[in-house]
Structure 1
Amino acid sequence: MEDEREDVQKKTFTKWVNAQFSKFGKQHIENLFSDLQDGRRLLDLLEGLTGQKLPKEKGSTRVHALNNVNKALRVLQNNNVDLVNIGSTDIVDGNHKLTLGLIWNIILHWQVKNVMKNIMAGLQQTNSEKILLSWVRQSTRNYPQVNVINFTTSWSDGLALNALIHSHRPDLFDWNSVVCQQSATQRLEHAFNIARYQLGIEKLLDPEDVATTYPDKKSILMYITSLFQVLPQQVSIEAIQEVEMLPRPPKVTKEEHFQLHHQMHYSQQITVSLAQGYERTSSPKPRFKSYAYTQAAYVTTSDPTRSPFPSQHLEAPEDKSFGSSLMESEVNLDGYQTALEEVLSWLLSAEDTLQAQGEISNDVDVVKEQFHTHEGYMMDLTAHQGRVGNILQLGSKLIGTGKLSEDEETEVQEQMNLLNSRWECLRVASMEKQSNLHRVLMDLQNQKLKELNDWLTKTEERTRKMEEEPLGPDLEDLKRQVQQHKVLQEDLEQEQVRVNSLTHMVVVVDESSGDHATAALEEQLKVLGDRWANICRWTEARWVLLQDILLKWQRLTEEQCLFSAWLSEKEDAVNKIHTTGFKDQNEMLSSLQKLAVLKADLEKKKQSMGKLYSLKQDLLSTLKNKSVTQKTEAWLDNFARCWDNLVQKLEKSTAQ
């Protein structure tokens, strides 16, 4: 994992350096480690960032390289860039880790802190990472699929990055189309391309660098800061306070990480396509919130009687983070007592924390929060188990020296027994709480899955009947069907709440059947997701069809009414014109003029007759209902007869 992170940082940091060189008109580097060794390219970079002219020694000896790097380090120190444990020889020798550390400090100063210094000053904050996380969470608050709590795992599925861009620039792409995409790599590629071509952000990361279990934090911070630089930068105090309330990830030493990974439950985030609701622009009001992914955290457990961390007895794994100095130096009673007091103080705090977790809720979303809170608590216990073991080992070693009096030895033994007893009680209680949380959460989630399955079955039958019912045959029937469809849309919107509650499913699987249980859950979620997506797609398509037919039918009906009224009016006008028995020539000329006007009106109205036929064809090609076809054609045949009668009357009257 360390090698993978180094490879990602090398690639992304190289892209960042080259992006700066492009701005300064400098030649790009190929290899971050070797190209910076002589110090000249490092000075080129700092020259562009500081705006100062920095002379370079052009010789090719090691002395020239050291002088150039030393000059670069002095420039960084003058600009208040932190350079802890980084020396010129490290860079000249091509030390990978320290070269990456140097470039990260440069990025942190000029990319992160410089970009954010104004908003940090305005908010009176000094933690740029906290401000950036607050901005991200505030920006993505209205996206139910997104919950950014860090700059690593929260970005793996690609939704957070797209949501961040879409929240500020919804004109750039359709959110639903992103949610529909099947893989995290596709979504990340989409976001990077939008940022590159629409916002001018260099593609510093590749999708495969982020779509991993543990993306590199520094690389993501660097990229998100680039977005922060070009997007609106409002951050509220409330958003900052919300970030401050987020649970902090426990610090785990390297020695403990292996043990944590194997002995304790852990969450493996995988993305399963569950559902797709579509935002309908043609609906009277927005309906379905887009929802496409359920992340299931598979919690691996072994025998319920086994602990995720071993019971601490006299022999415990050595923990270098606590008590190691005492273990390595001469053992003395005062040092032991001091260390014991510290670990007992922590133990008391851990006991209080467990007690404060309260009763398990019967609401699935609340239980999920309780589960993740307890998961962090268990990780904290695992991180501290070495401390307890060291104290027990220290006490045993102290007794073994034979330097204690009988009373002192008895006291130390009693203290060790007390510590071990309290640790054991805490271990058992926390395991019991974990087991109960697993059981309740699985019961509630299975209940939600069953409810969703039942609802899908019922709704599939409902949509099947709606599909089989012909549209029409009258306009009022169609309006009734439109209203019926609106009720279905409202039901889908309500069901969306249940679908959303399945986000971040936590599934407890046994070690012996973990892969089978994982595959079974994925298949179950996929089936449910496909069914939900089919219903949503059908509902959306049906709504569009109904609106199209309703609009065409109403237009045809309006034109029919207007044409019918016009025909009646002209028939009355023809009937009122005298064709015989004129008093004089003027009266005859007046009648002829009226007939001529009517003929002209009739000629103009031919276009309306053609429009009626066109509207009819448009409606029937969409509706495809035999009964409606017969009625509509009967109406038009009647209009055609009335038209012919009117033409004949005019010709007859004119002839007379």
Structure 2
Amino acid sequence: EHDLVQKKTFTKWINAQFSKVKILVPVIQTKERGSTRVHALNNVNKVLQVLHQNNVDLVNIGGTDIVDGNHKLTLGLIWSIILHWQVSTDVMSSLQQTNSEKILLSWVRQSTRAYPEVNVLNFTTSWADGLALNAILHHFRPNAFSWDGVVQMRPVERLEHAFTVAKDQLAIERLLDPEDVAVQLPDKKSILLYVTSLFAALPKDVNMESIREVETLPRRFKVEAEDSCPGLSAQVTPDNKACCFKTFTHFKTPDTLSELEGEMEGGMLEADLDTYQTTLEEVLTWLLSAEDTLQIQDEVLDDVEGVKEQFHTHEDFMMELTAHQSSVGNVLQAGNQLIAQGSLSEEVEDEIREQMSLLNSRWESLRVASMDRQARLHEVLMELQQQQLQQLSDWLTRTEDRIRKIETERPAKDIDDYKQRIEQHKELQNDLEAEQVKVNSLTHMVVVVDENSGESATAALEEQLQSLGERWAAVCRWTEERWHKLQEVFLVWQQLVSDQVEHNFYFTLFPNISAPRHIFP
């Protein structure tokens, strides 16, 4: 399904680029005329040579793949071209960054920050309801349409509205159709391509702070802590009683083929051999691609943010497996139906059984391997996150001891002593702000919670996080309250000093009047 969307989107993009293409003009001028396969191969190879010279990743594609109509490799090549010329040129060059997706997500979140209905966490599910696209457009063109009116629309209507406004206001081509986006899992590459077009046409006010914020974002299928639980911040008011850190990833494990078979029972019409063979080839092609994707994933890193990124990447891969498992089940059921019909020769039935056995073996191997990697990533991530929690706990213990010592100090003897205590408190505030950076990473902890997990799976961690959150909030609250008290008392000290100066001046003018020698004890 995603391939069909990509084919349609990429085709529209290519047609829109014809007026801009300059790099291939020399190739077009030297094109070999003729309709034979040799002519076609020579022309395609010339194009590939130019792309290689311009450092475009050719994704292991050759001229024969294009000429023979390998649509999957052709789509991969087109995506490499898009990444190289549109995404890299329009996005990465503006901030000298190598992660264009991170920049785009930062820009999107920055542009939609004022819209409470919008929370963009990725380039798939966050766009399905059409609100994100409209929020970007409304942010830069607030007079073009009513935001309240958009909120009342259905997802397909919102998407249609956004594409129309983008075309009329910004001359952005309608690369997508609403029906292709308003689905459970929109195609990521197509969304990225369209958002890049918006990025190229609108102001690009993205700073490094916004980009760094994206690194600690929760990803899709995650549940944030309760809305009533405030986030960690150095500016904690007396009303803040506790702070939360947790983010749990809810994940459905891909099914085995026997489970799929049970789910699909009675769900398909009578199968025919041609449909079965076509569907089987498509599923096996996808399986090969998925196996390659899993194999080339990097070794598990040893830093928490790096492992988080790997975990989120693998999470996307696992969700793709889950999204495709119904297709695998369809093939399985179709094969069983063909055999049950009894209209095939014994040789053909044996071939179908062998094909289904191969499918079963490859799906199960992929499923188990992907689950093993997820388990390993989660194990390493939990270990690193626990280290972070322990470091925070140790810091809180030292800071709480520091606070107890401050509370038992004798009163300041004069204003200079009081100024010194204010400076000491500023040091505590600076330490608190420095620790806030580490705490920000903990606000989006990752814990896998699957359908088999009970409450006990996260109870201990929740208790630990709750305790640390309360201690952090107490330190923040004490620091702020003491700062206000220090300021209030300092103003009194200053007034007393001012009064003393006035009294000394008065008694200098009238020396015969008796006066106390000191204002301060």
Normalising by structure 2, we get a TM-score of 0.54
Q: How does 1:17-416 map to 2 (within 5 A)?
A: 137-139=109-111, 148-149=120-121, 218=154, 250=185, 267-271=222-226, 273=229, 276-279=232-235, 292-297=243-248, 299=250, 308-312=254-258, 315=261, 317-318=263-264, 328-329=269-270, 331-332=272-273, 334-399=274-339, 401=341, 404=344, 408-409=348-349, 411-416=351-356
Look at both structures and tell me which one has the larger radius of gyration over its CA atoms.
1
- Alpha carbons of structure 1 residues 140 and 567: separation in structure 2 relative to 1, 3 Å: farther
Runs of 5+ unmatched residues, structure 1: 1-122, 124-132, 155-159, 169-199, 206-215, 226-233, 238-245, 253-264, 282-290, 302-306, 575-601, 610-632, 639-656
Pairwise CA distance, 1:276: 4.7
Do 1:275 and 1:532's aligned partners in 2 also have CA atoms closer than 8 Å? no
Structure 2 counterpart of 1:499: 439
Cα-Cα RMSD: 5.1
**CA–CA distance in 1 between the matches of 2:271 and 2:120?**
48
Q: How does 1:457-468 map to 2 (within 5 A)?
A: 457-468=397-408
Secondary structure of 1:137's counterpart equals: helix
Structure 1 counterpart of 2:46: none
**CA–CA distance in 2 between the matches of 1:381 and 1:529?**
36
Structure 2 counterpart of 1:531: 471
Pairwise CA distance, 1:530: 1.6
Runs of 5+ unmatched residues, structure 2: 1-89, 91-104, 127-131, 141-145, 162-168, 173-180, 188-219
User: What amino acid does structure 2 have at the position aligned with 1:503?
Assistant: T
Secondary structure of 2:454's counterpart equals: helix
Which has the bigger relative contact order, CA under 8 A and spacing at least 6? Answer: 2
Structure 1 counterpart of 2:496: 556
Pairwise CA distance, 1:462: 0.5
Q: Which piece of structure 1 moves more, 501-510 or 469-478?
A: 501-510
Do 1:280 and 1:540's aligned partners in 2 also have CA atoms closer than 8 Å? yes
**CA–CA distance in 2 between the matches of 1:308 and 1:266?**
15
**CA–CA distance in 1 between the matches of 2:482 and 2:460?**
33
Q: Deviations over 1:464-522 (max 9, x none)?
A: 11111134112221121111111110111111122211223333468787223444433
Structure 2 counterpart of 1:447: 387
User: What amino acid does structure 2 have at the position aligned with 1:149?
Assistant: L
- Alpha carbons of structure 1 residues 523 and 364: separation in structure 2 relative to 1, 3 Å: same
Structure 1 counterpart of 2:93: none
**CA–CA distance in 1 between the matches of 2:519 and 2:418?**
20
Do 2:223 and 2:249's aligned partners in 1 also have CA atoms closer than 8 Å? yes
Pairwise CA distance, 1:463: 0.7
- Alpha carbons of structure 1 residues 217 and 310: separation in structure 2 relative to 1, 3 Å: farther
User: What amino acid does structure 2 have at the position aligned with 1:527?
Assistant: S
**CA–CA distance in 2 between the matches of 1:203 and 1:292?**
36
**CA–CA distance in 2 between the matches of 1:419 and 1:513?**
29
Pairwise CA distance, 1:566: 5.3
Do 2:300 and 2:377's aligned partners in 1 also have CA atoms closer than 8 Å? yes
Pairwise CA distance, 1:392: 2.8
Q: How does 1:612-623 map to 2 (within 5 A)?
A: none
**CA–CA distance in 2 between the matches of 1:464 and 1:357?**
50
Structure 2 counterpart of 1:417: 357
**CA–CA distance in 1 between the matches of 2:289 and 2:518?**
85
- Alpha carbons of structure 1 residues 414 and 513: separation in structure 2 relative to 1, 3 Å: closer
Structure 1 counterpart of 2:34: none
User: What amino acid does structure 1 have at the position aligned with 2:465?
Assistant: L
Q: Deviations over 1:218-252 (max 9, x none)?
A: 59x99xx9xxxxxxxx99x9xxxxxxxx9x96379
Q: Which piece of structure 1 moves more, 397-406 or 381-390?
A: 397-406
Q: Deviations over 1:107-152 (max 9, x none)?
A: xxxxxxxxxxxxxxxx9xxxxxxxxx99872146699xx9643899
Structure 2 counterpart of 1:543: 483
Do 1:250 and 1:376's aligned partners in 2 also have CA atoms closer than 8 Å? no
Pairwise CA distance, 1:410: 5.0
Do 1:269 and 1:296's aligned partners in 2 also have CA atoms closer than 8 Å? yes
Q: Deviations over 1:2-31 (max 9, x none)?
A: xxxxxxxxxxxxxxxxxxxxxxxxxxxxxx
Pairwise CA distance, 1:274: 6.6
Secondary structure of 1:297's counterpart equals: strand
User: What amino acid does structure 2 have at the position aligned with 1:317?
Assistant: E
**CA–CA distance in 2 between the matches of 1:147 and 1:363?**
27
- Alpha carbons of structure 1 residues 509 and 407: separation in structure 2 relative to 1, 3 Å: closer
Do 1:274 and 1:526's aligned partners in 2 also have CA atoms closer than 8 Å? no
Secondary structure of 1:636's counterpart equals: coil
Do 2:223 and 2:248's aligned partners in 1 also have CA atoms closer than 8 Å? yes
- Alpha carbons of structure 1 residues 249 and 357: separation in structure 2 relative to 1, 3 Å: farther
Pairwise CA distance, 1:549: 2.2
- Alpha carbons of structure 1 residues 456 and 140: separation in structure 2 relative to 1, 3 Å: farther
The answer on 1:635 being equivalent to 2:515 is no
The answer on 1:488 being equivalent to 2:434 is no
Q: Deviations over 1:70-107 (max 9, x none)?
A: xxxxxxxxxxxxxxxxxxxxxxxxxxxxxxxxxxxxxx
**CA–CA distance in 2 between the matches of 1:217 and 1:506?**
34
User: What amino acid does structure 1 have at the position aligned with 2:263?
Assistant: P
Q: Deviations over 1:306-328 (max 9, x none)?
A: x64224589453289xxx7xx52
**CA–CA distance in 2 between the matches of 1:299 and 1:273?**
20
